[in-house]
Amino acid sequence: MALQGLEIRRSSASLRGGGTGLRKMATVAKYIDTSTCIGCKACEVACQEWNDLPNAQTSGPQHGTYQTLPTMTANFWNLIKFREVETQDHGLQWLMRKDQCMHCDEPGCLEACPAPGAIVQYVNGIVDVDPEKCIGCGLCETGCPFDVPRYAQATNKMAKCTLCVDRVSVGLEPACIKACPTGCLQFGDKTALLEVAKHRVEQLHGDGFAQASYYDPQGVGGTGVITVLKHGDHPEWYGLPKDPTVPTTVSVWKRVLHPIGFVAMAAAIFGAIGHFMAFGPKKPKDSSRETGGEV
Amino acid sequence: MSELRIPGSTRAAGPTAIQVARGREDVVIGDEIVRHRLASRVIHWVVAVFFFGALFTGMPIWSPVFGWMAYFFGGLSVCRWLHAWLGVAFAAAAAVMAVLWLKEMVFDKSDRKFNVVDYLRFSDREDPDVGKYNAGQKFFFWLVMVTGVVILLTGIVLWWPTYFNQTLRSISILLHDICFIGFFAAIVGHIYLGTAAEPGTFHSMTRGTVTRAWAKLHHPRWYREVTGERR
């Protein structure tokens, strides 16, 4: 169930956005410094525990990395991605990044979702799914530029990271943040965390990582997850898309085809009525059935 | 008790037009001509029921403007499940219809003379060469066939969220949508021309028969073929 305590900023499949805009609240964000992450997976465990998710089956094909699972699943919302990249300037880099829902400011999942209220964006920017309203169509997966939502066959519902909205709404930090031993995860107001990120990027510049930057892609209006990257010019090394946007097809579908569809439907109906008035019925002049009005 | 005789009824002379229409078509009985035998009419209405079922379960998923339609089926979750199966049923029924009707829907030389503007003006300048189906009807048939195939294939891609990649799914969304808009506009025209615009036509799809006058007006060559009359 979607959380009742927080006001909604935006809601799926609602014609006028779905928010009331009455109570303003600062946008929250999660700060991830990949340069100080040690890949301990405490965040993964905390996520599973707090959200009462079942243990993940880790047996199966091995990928030669420390990564718990090949990808996130409907029962595993927080996954540290381990990657090895050969770089020109810094030799072999062992990169790890905590992957989860990015809580976009303009969420593609929410835009693509056809079920009213199934995906909501709370006034503080957290994007959440309401399983009671989810119809299990999987269009959110198509709309997401980060490959985050997971459709579960067993429940016929979508599931993903909620940014622990149930904790945040009562003044606690998300479970993953609380569990992090190195402080590479922080939580708070987005504006404040952007300052933290800028400061950290400057430090990294000084440490010889001239390309360091933080990841807050504007193609989706910015994200609720700020990720500091030593190799900021190569987000794809961390499994992040370079310039993520809501897929063009989804925008075209909702913003172009929908209006065209409504116009075409109206045109067909009024066209038929207009044609009848202008040209009337075509009927034989000398037949009782047709002229008698029976069809 | 003596048998009830309706004056002018053809019962005494043999089977009525409607009885004949159960099994045969293109036959003249008195003032009537059998246009659609029972099998043709049944498959038409089977296709129609599945079409509208799929349409009305799909529209609330398409836009919240039509969200009220979902309540007639038990909610949006039911629609998401039912829409797929009704779509499959529609496709299956349309495939049977295609087999039954294919021969009559092949375009021939006389169809080249079909002028859609002249036709829609309902002018008195009748084309004497229009056979059992005019080019517009044949075009509608082929439109349904092509659109039906595309909407089925894209529908299958959208049915199972996990089995297809997202590029294919996003293209399918667009194509499924375009097919739906085309289907909606086409069905409005189809219903209008089959009922209000051309009286007598709907009767051919319910009881199977049309009057001689109707056939002579709308399908003159077909009329000559079945009656043996000359121009």
In one letter, which amino acid is A109? Answer: C
Q: Is residue B21 part of a domain?
A: no
The two structure tokens encoding residue A204: 């990294």
> Residue B178: inside a domain, yes or no?
yes
B158 in contact with chain A, both atoms CB, cutoff 8 A: yes
- Using 50, 70 and 90 to split pLDDT, how confident is the model at A55? confident
- Going by C-beta distance under 8 Å and a sequence separation of 6 or more, which residues neighbour residue B129? B110, B113, B220, B221
Question: Of residues B20 and A169, which shows the higher confidence score?
Answer: A169
Interface contacts A/B by beta carbons within 8 Å: 150
pLDDT at B1: 40
B174–A249: do the CB atoms touch at under 8 Å? yes
DSSP helix/strand/coil, B28: strand
Residue burial A118-135, b: 16+ Cβ < 10 Å; e: rest: bbbbbbbbbbbbbeebbb
Q: What is the mean pLDDT of residues B196-201?
A: 93
> In the predicted model, is pLDDT for residue B128 greater than 50?
yes
- Is residue B157's pLDDT more than 50? yes
Report how far residue A219's alpha carbon sits from residue B198's, in angstroms, rounded to the nearest whole number: 54
Q: Does A263 touch chain B (CB under 8 A)?
A: no
Residues of A in contact with B214 (CB under 8 A): 283-284, 287, 289-290
Which helix H or strand E contains A83, and what residues bound it? strand A79-87
Q: Using an 8 Å CB-CB cutoff, list chain A residues near B188.
A: 265, 268-269, 271-272
pLDDT at position A54 is: 92
Q: What is the mean pLDDT of residues A120-137?
A: 95
**A168 has pLDDT over 60:** yes
pLDDT band at A24; cut points 50, 70, 90: confident
- Residue B4 resides in a domain: no
Structure tokens, B83: 């829409």
Most confident of A288-292, B86-90, B130-134: B86-90
**ipTM of the prediction greater than 0.90, yes or no:** no
Q: Name every chain A residue with its beta carbon within 8 A of the beta carbon of B160.
A: 138
Residue range A114-134: mean pLDDT, rounded: 95
For chain A, helix, strand, coil in percent to 5 are 30, 20, 50
Around A197, how many Cα atoms within 13 Å sit in the side-chain half-sphere?
Answer: 28
Where does the pLDDT of residue A295 fall: very low under 50, low under 70, confident under 90, or very high at 90 and above?
Answer: very low
Q: B203 in helix, strand or coil?
A: helix
> Is the pLDDT reported for residue B2 higher than 60?
no
Percent of chain B exceeding pLDDT 90 equals 75
Closest partner residue to B213 (CB to CB) among A115, A141, A286 is A286
Distance from CA of A267 to the nearest CA of B (A): 8
Residues of chain A neighbouring B199 (CB-CB closer than 8 A): 281, 283, 289-291, 293-295
Whole-angstrom distance, CA of residue B118 vs CA of residue B115: 5
Q: Give residue A4's pLDDT band: very low, low, confident or very high (50, 70, 90).
A: low
Q: Is residue B147 part of a domain?
A: yes
Identify the pLDDT of residue B13: 56
Which of B80, B174, B192 is nearest residue A135 as measured by Cβ atoms? B80
pLDDT of residue B126: 67
CB proximity B121 to A under 8 Å? yes
Domain count, chain B: 1
Residue numbers in A near B76 (CB within 8 A): 114-116, 135
**Position B3 in a domain:** no
CB contact under 8 A, B171 and A138: no
Say whether residue B181 is in contact with chain A using an 8 A CB cutoff.
yes
CATH value at residue B66: 1.20.950.20
CA nearest A235: which of A77, A30, A83, A66?
A83
B19 pLDDT above the threshold of 90: no
- pLDDT at residue A3, as a whole number: 66
Tell me: the pLDDT tens digits for B59-76? 999 999 999 999 999 999
B186-221 b/e (C-beta count within 10 Å ≥ 16 → b): bbbbbebbeebbbbbbebbbebbbbbbbbbbbbbbb
Q: What is the mean pLDDT of chain B?
A: 90
Mean predicted confidence (pLDDT) in A22-43: 94
CA gap A233, A211 in Å, rounded: 6
Phi-psi region of B4 (alpha: psi -120 to 50; beta: other; left: phi over 0): beta
| Residue of B146, B151, B168 lying closest to B86 (CA atoms) | B151
Determine, yes or no, domain membership for B9. no
DSSP structural state of residue A124: T
Q: How crowded is residue A154: how many other Cβ atoms within 10 Å of its Cβ?
A: 7
Token pair belonging to A44: 């993964």
Pairing of strands A185-189, B32-34: unpaired
> Among A122-131, A171-180, B24-33, B181-190, which stretch is predicted with the lowest mean pLDDT?
B24-33
pLDDT for A292 beyond 90: no
**Which residues of chain B from 61 to 100 reach within 8 Å of chain A, CB to CB?**
61-65, 67, 76-77, 79-80
CA distance A262 to A15: 14
Nearest to A272 by CA among B184, B193, B182, B202: B193
Closest to B207 in 3D by CA, of A289, A292, A293: A289
The pLDDT assigned to A42 comes to: 97
- Count of Cβ atoms closer than 10 Å to residue B103 Cβ: 7
Residue B112 lies in a domain: no
Question: Please, which residues have CB within 8 angstroms of residue B210's CB and are 6 or more apart in sequence?
Answer: B32, B33, B35, B200, B201, B203, B204
CATH topology assigned to domain A8-245: Alpha-Beta Plaits (3.30.70)
Cα–Cα distance, A283 to A288 (Å, whole number): 10
Q: Is B201 on the interface with A (CB under 8 A)?
A: yes
Percent of chain A with pLDDT over 90: 83
pLDDT, tens only, B79-95: 999 999 999 999 999 99
Which residues, in sequence order, are CB contacts of B37 under 8 Å at separation 6+? Answer: B21, B22, B23, B24, B25, B208
Query: What mean pLDDT is predicted for residues B53-58?
Result: 98
DSSP B56-67: HHHHHHH-GGGH
Two tokens at A83? Answer: 């990657």
| Cross-chain Cβ contact A279/B61 below 8 Å | no
Mean pLDDT, rounded, for A201-220: 96
| Reported pTM | 0.89
Per the structure, the complete domain to which residue B64 belongs is given by 26-104+125-224
Q: What is the mean pLDDT of chain A?
A: 92
Q: What are phi and psi of B206, to 5 degrees?
A: -100, -60
SS3 track for A208-252: CCCCCEEECCHHHCCECEEEEECCCCCHHHHCCCCCCCCCHHHHH
